[in-house]
A and B are shown apart, each in its own frame.
Chain A
Amino acid sequence: MNKIVSLKNIVVGFDDEPVLNGLSLDIHDKEFVTFLGPSGCGKTTTLRVIGGFVQPKSGNVFFNGQDITNFPPYKREVNTVFQKYALFPHLNVYENVAFGLRLKKMDEREIRSRVSEMLEVVGLKGFERRSTTNLSGGQQQRVAIARGLVNHPKVLLLDEPLGALDLKLRKEMQLELKRLQQAMDITFIYVTHDQEEALTMSDTIVIMKDGNIQQIGGPIDIYNEPENAFVASFIGESNIIDGIMLRDFSVEFAGNAFTCVDKGFAHNELVQVVIRPEDIQVVPAIRGQLTGVVKDVIFKGVHYEMHVEQAGYEWIIHSTQASEPGELIGMCIGPDEIHIMRRSEG
């Protein structure tokens, strides 16, 4: 797959406050890529650099191999779906979608057929003459997407487009966006702070923090093999605990030696160990590799969430069976469930 967008050493600062510190990134064609991170991590800024709304202090933006760093937004073959949609209030649905085509001086018949085709794709057929101001959030969202896609961009940028919708609608739109991306067969670059959204939709997830990329990978890789504690804690809940790599395939933490599948660390290297709450097996106390006291149990619908104290550390365990608070339980962790990360600073 060829690279459609490449960022090289992008530096952006607002009022002397660094936002992106020499960020480099390649985005492959026809992928659904998500920038994921907490607010202020620079994900939206990165998107705006690609869209042309933010001029980097240094670094280059390449589009299909061409340097477009100094191109204004209207000369870039990308379109954006803005946060809160930014629909033009003085134009109706049809005119909003036709806006970009009109600027290309396209033939009126061609415009009409492309707009109605697009409105059909997003499920807004028959809404042409409606004012955008009396549409529901989900409908406005669809108009915004249609307005971008109708121009046949090579890349569609989406800046937290589902943020304003309620939970049920969000889930629906997530699937629909994925469907649209596959149907249009183009690249979507999607910004969100919602890890579940990222895991659901993406081919590739770019996790960011403080203007730096923490990890790039597919949803499964990122979930299972977080490269550092930040990624681990940001993607799902995790138990993160300090440990020592005794030798290849053996790690010590929580006062016990465990078999693991990692190798290539120095002898007695200090590491961090990530264990997902659902990967800990609850067993009778005498059979556990570790034993702890249940502090509380919370019913979460599909599972119970338990907090278990063991040697001063509080473990989070997800289990389909509840234990009693105060009960002494055993915990078992299989070699595949232990993820070793090099110790990150801070």
Chain B
Amino acid sequence: MKKTHLQALQKAYVCLLFSFLYVPIAVMIVFSFNESKSRTLFTGFTLKWYKSLLQNDMILDALALSLFVAFIAATVATVLGVMASIGISGMNKRLQGAINTVSYMPVVNPEIITGVSLMLLFVVYVNFAHWFNTSESIPAFLQILPENIFGIGTLLIAHITFCLPYVIFNVTPKLRQMDVRLYEAALDLGCNPKQAFFKVVLPEIMPAILSAFLISLTYSIDDFIISYFSCGTLQTLPIAIYSMTRKKVSPEINALSTVMFVVILAIILVTNYMEGRSYRKTREKS
């Protein structure tokens, strides 16, 4: 008797917490179909906000930029990070510790600090470039340092920088866990070190590399704070969203949220389904 009461209480509590998590999202979805611009009164059903969203060049450009930056940043970070992990795993413990401490900085530090510090670096560079290009003691043909750097370049540098630690901290443990004898077995069977890496080590750490790439991709697409300090006048999707929320009027933002929610939900469901299937498949085999 007492136990069932407790269970009911548990259920009620979990439901309450989940409604806390989902009510705001539900409200946005409902109001994305609202006829009027009101954010509080539902006056009638419409799809016009979706239509105008599709015609909103600012948002579409921002989306394209976000995807582009995310893809480049995740790729570069993954390649650099995997190389780094392999190199670091060959070092002694002391050196590894020192490198890990610095690598952890962007993870541990508040994002605003990472953003601000990178912005300062770029500012310092701009100041230097300006001095260099205008100094009389430097030959004119050398005075070609770019000064207007805030834009795609700085954005990419920032994104690669905050993605790198996630790659390293995903791949390094996998390398450490890997049985060294697998590598030795490959050598034993006739692989040279390069072949052994590509035929045995790489397939072995591939899941970690893949998940590092995906994590980088999502962090990059989602990032607002660090981009905010390094993008100059460019707008990534989160920055475009920010400027829309400042205006406080357009219901397009609700439509955008709904679209994003549905896309994310679809991705999660699909990956889950695939995982479940491959899991069942391996079980059937055995």
User: What residues make up the interface of A, taking CB atoms closer than 8 Å to B?
Assistant: 51-53, 72-74, 78-80, 82-84, 86-90, 99-100, 103-104, 130-131, 134, 147-148, 151
Contacts and interface: CB of A to CB of B under 8 A. Distances in A.
Interface in B181-227: 181-182, 184-193, 195-196, 199-200, 203-204, 206
Given A86-B179, A86-B184, A99 B286 contact: no
Contacts of A103: 189-191, 195
B3 interface: no
16 contacts: A52-B187, A73-B184, A73-B187, A74-B188, A74-B196, A80-B185, A82-B181, A82-B184, A82-B185, A86-B181, A88-B204, A131-B285, A147-B189, A148-B189, A151-B189, A151-B190
A78 B188 CA distance: 8
Contacts of B191: 74, 103
B195 A130 contact: no
B204 A79 contact: no
Contact of B182 (A72, A83, A86, A134): A86
Most chain A CB inside 10 Å of its own CB: which residue of B181, B184, B189, B206:
B189
A147 B193 CA distance: 19
A79 B189 contact: yes
B182 A100 contact: no
Interface string B156-199: 00000000000000000000000101101111111111011001
A229 B158 CA distance: 69
Nearest to B181: A86
B194 to A, nearest CB: 11
A74 B192 contact: yes
Contacts of B200: 88
A51 B188 CA distance: 7
B109 interface: no
B7 interface: no
B190 A90 contact: no
A90 B189 CA distance: 16
Nearest to B193: A72
Contacts of B181: 82-84, 86
Residue among A73, A83, A131 with the highest chain B CB neighbour number at 10 A:
A73
Contacts of A88: 182, 185-186, 200, 203-204
B40 interface: no
Interface of B: 179, 181-182, 184-193, 195-196, 199-200, 203-204, 206, 282, 285-286
Contact of B190 (A74, A86, A131): A74
Given A86-B181, A88-B182, A131 B188 contact: no
Given A89-B204, A90-B204, A80 B188 contact: yes
A51 B184 CA distance: 10
Contacts of A89: 204
B188 A79 contact: yes
A45 to B, nearest CB: 14
A68 B279 CA distance: 46
Contacts of B186: 88, 99
Contacts of A84: 179, 181
A80 B183 CA distance: 12
Contacts of A83: 181
A99 B198 CA distance: 13
A54 to B, nearest CB: 10
A53 B184 contact: yes
Given A78-B188, A88-B186, A88-B203, 10 more contacts: A51-B188, A52-B187, A72-B187, A73-B187, A82-B184, A83-B181, A84-B179, A86-B181, A88-B200, A100-B189
A134 to B, nearest CB: 4
A141 to B, nearest CB: 14
Nearest to B185: A86
A103 B191 CA distance: 7
Nearest to A82: B181
Nearest to A135: B286
Contacts of B285: 130-131, 134
A100 B189 CA distance: 5
B196 to A, nearest CB: 8
Nearest to A157: B188
Contacts of A147: 185, 189
A73 B180 CA distance: 14
Contact of B203 (A90, A134, A148): A90
A129 to B, nearest CB: 8
Nearest to B180: A86
A148 B186 CA distance: 11
A86 to B, nearest CB: 4
A49 to B, nearest CB: 13
Contacts of B193: 72
B175 to A, nearest CB: 15
A88 B179 CA distance: 10
Contacts of B182: 86, 88
Contacts of B179: 84, 86
A153 to B, nearest CB: 9
A273 to B, nearest CB: 44
A64 to B, nearest CB: 18
Contacts of B190: 74, 100, 103-104, 151
A73 B188 contact: yes
A281 to B, nearest CB: 50
A166 B89 CA distance: 35
A278 to B, nearest CB: 40
Contacts of B203: 88, 90
B209 to A, nearest CB: 13
Contacts of B189: 74, 79, 99-100, 103, 147-148, 151
A98 to B, nearest CB: 10
A127 to B, nearest CB: 12
Contacts of A100: 189-190
